[in-house]
Amino acid sequence: QYPAGGSSTNPFL
């Protein structure tokens, strides 16, 4: 799950 506006390309999320 990603925060709103967050990037799905972030390996730490």
Partner 1 sequence: ADAPWVVKPEEKMKFDTIFESLGPVGGMLSGDKVKPVLLNSNLPVDILGRVWELSDIDRDGMLDRDEFSVAMFLVYRALEGESVPMSLPPPLVPPSKR
Q: Which is nearer to partner 1, 1 or 12 (CB)?
A: 12
Neighbours of 7 (CB within 10 A): 8
Task: Pull the structure tokens for residue 12.
Answer: 């730490």
- The residue among 1 and 10 lying less far from partner 1, judged by its C-beta, is 10
1-13: which residues touch partner 1 (CB under 8 A)?
7, 9-13
CB 5 within 8 A of CB 13: no
CB of 6 to partner 1, least distance (A): 8
Contact footprint for partner 1 (CB under 8 A): 7, 9-13
